[in-house]
């Protein structure tokens, strides 16, 4: 999805899937080390002199691998605009290239593209895998979600963006997944610019501030029976839409206010559409060996220790399953 929005191409490489897989794995590897503890972050004078934990080498190599796929597309697109071979803005790359105030340099464009790709690859995929695992394990939740889809959309067409405002239960399920199964353990680190008291806690100037996503989402003082999957806790009054943010900061999905994610609408749409299409298009069942399916995180991060396995069966008319051709 994000590849199509940024580059107007669904896949990288020659269509075999190998290049696309390498590019996505490299993006996830960058994310893995983005907030990892690195001693040179706290002792900047060590940078360039020694690489105690090997992070700098890993990040440099990984970013080069990502740019191997991105940079040729960016360079070619800029050339097309310069020679008049492209006249209309059709994707995000075009918008960045033609941005006037301020005009972005080549390095800035490439950096922004990298940020966009990294920022969109983790939360939607993690949230959908986790929420589908919870749904299949709890058949009543899955049944209610399917009933909502059949009522709002039916089975003679695919769910579209215009349907999303009416899919409140689907969005409540996603929000519950964000609460219970965040992709990252902490928010992006912040440094306090002055001494301040927040919620009764004194924070000295210059302190690094980290908020535990798990600590918020699974806090029994905030959530009743926090380890129980209950999408109903996020449903609003009748007539109001469910949103995937929480302005009261009882959980961190897209944050809020000035520090909130600027792509909250895009992220919410991508995640909801992905889950809705997966649920609408297939009937899902547990495999015979149910014991192998457990939503357990790794010891060193919050990724699933093992992929959740399920059996998918077609539930819509055949004409709604178009063959996807790689380009």
Strands 201-203 and 208-209: unpaired
Residue 325 domain-assigned (yes or no): no
pLDDT of amino acid 324 = 55
Q: What percent of the chain has pLDDT over 70?
A: 96
CATH classification of the domain holding 202:
1.10.630.10
74: number of Cβ within 10 Å: 19
User: Containing domain of residue 68, as a range?
Assistant: 2-119
pLDDT of amino acid 159 = 96
CA torsion angle 212 115 4 260 (round to 10): 50
Which span out of 41-45, 252-256, 271-275, 307-311 was modeled with the highest average pLDDT?
271-275
Listed residues 102, 119, 136: the one ending a domain: 119
The CA distance from 256 to 245, in Å, is 7
User: Do 113 and 131 lie in a common domain?
Assistant: no
User: Do 160 and 115 lie in a common domain?
Assistant: no
- Please give the C-alpha separations between residue 123 and each of 1, 51, 85, 283, in angstroms, as whole numbers: 13, 30, 36, 24
Listed residues 104, 119, 134: the one ending a domain: 119
User: Do 204 and 141 lie in a common domain?
Assistant: yes
User: Do 67 and 148 lie in a common domain?
Assistant: no
For range 7-13, the mean pLDDT: 84
Residue 32 domain-assigned (yes or no): yes
User: Do 100 and 202 lie in a common domain?
Assistant: no
Residue 327 domain-assigned (yes or no): no
The CA distance from 5 to 296, in Å, is 33
pLDDT of amino acid 13 = 75
DSSP annotation of 304: B
Note the pTM of the prediction, 2 decimals.
0.84
User: Do 89 and 216 lie in a common domain?
Assistant: no
User: Do 61 and 148 lie in a common domain?
Assistant: no
User: Do 169 and 311 lie in a common domain?
Assistant: yes
User: Do 144 and 174 lie in a common domain?
Assistant: yes
Residue 17 domain-assigned (yes or no): yes
The pLDDT of residue 325 is above 80 = no
For range 43-64, the mean pLDDT: 84
pLDDT of amino acid 195 = 94
Contact 297, 303 (CB under 8 A): yes
Residue 326 domain-assigned (yes or no): no
Greatest CA separation for the chain: 63
pLDDT (tens digit per residue) in 97-138:
999 888 999 999 999 999 888 888 888 888 898 999 999 989
The CA distance from 31 to 121, in Å, is 9
User: Do 89 and 147 lie in a common domain?
Assistant: no
Residue 182 domain-assigned (yes or no): yes
The pLDDT of residue 327 is above 70 = no
User: Do 194 and 232 lie in a common domain?
Assistant: yes
99, HSE (Cβ side, Cα atoms, 13 Å): 15
Our count of domains for the chain comes to 2
Listed residues 86, 119, 152: the one ending a domain: 119
- What mean pLDDT value characterizes the chain? 87
- Please give the C-alpha separations between residue 51 and each of 28, 55, 250, 323, in angstroms, as whole numbers: 21, 7, 38, 48
Residue 49 domain-assigned (yes or no): yes
The pLDDT of residue 273 is above 70 = yes
User: Do 42 and 171 lie in a common domain?
Assistant: no
C-beta contacts of 9-15 below 8 A and 24+ residues apart: 9/73, 9/327, 10/324, 10/326, 10/327, 11/326, 11/327, 12/69, 13/69, 15/326, 15/327
């Amino acid at each position: 999805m994000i590849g199509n929005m940024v580059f107007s191409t669904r896949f990288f490489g020659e269509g075999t899937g190998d290049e696309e897989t390498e590019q996505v794995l490299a993006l996830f590897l960058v994310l893995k080390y983005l907030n990892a503890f690195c001693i040179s972050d706290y002792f900047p004078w060590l940078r360039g002199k020694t690489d105690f934990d090997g992070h700098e080498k890993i990040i440099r190599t990984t970013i080069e691998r990502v740019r191997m796929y991105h940079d040729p597309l960016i360079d070619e697109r800029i050339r097309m605009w310069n020679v008049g071979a492209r006249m209309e803005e059709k994707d995000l790359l075009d918008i960045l290239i033609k941005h006037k105030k301020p005009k972005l340099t080549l390095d800035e464009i490439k950096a922004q593209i990298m940020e966009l790709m990294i920022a969109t690859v983790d939360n939607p995929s993690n949230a959908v895998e986790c929420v589908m695992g919870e749904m299949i394990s709890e058949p009543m939740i899955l049944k209610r979600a399917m009933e909502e889809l059949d009522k709002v959309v039916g089975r003679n067409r695919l769910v579209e963006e215009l349907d999303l405002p009416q899919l409140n239960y689907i969005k409540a399920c996603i929000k519950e997944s964000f609460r219970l199964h965040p992709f990252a353990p902490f928010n992006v680190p912040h440094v306090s610019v002055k001494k301040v008291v927040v919620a009764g806690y004194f924070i000295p100037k210059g302190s690094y501030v980290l908020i535990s996503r798990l600590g918020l989402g699974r806090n029994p003082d905030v959530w009743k029976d926090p380890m129980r999957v209950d999408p109903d806790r996020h449903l609003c009054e009748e007539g109001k839409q469910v949103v995937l943010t929480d302005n009261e900061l009882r959980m961190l999905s897209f944050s809020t206010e000035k520090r909130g994610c600027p792509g909250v609408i895009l992220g919410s749409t991508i995640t909801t559409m992905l889950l809705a299409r997966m649920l609408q298009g297939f009937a899902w069942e547990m495999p015979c060996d149910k014991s192998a399916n457990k939503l357990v995180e790794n010891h060193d991060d919050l990724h699933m220790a093992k992929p959740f396995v399920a059996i998918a069966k077609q539930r819509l008319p055949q004409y709604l399953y178009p063959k996807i051709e790689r380009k």
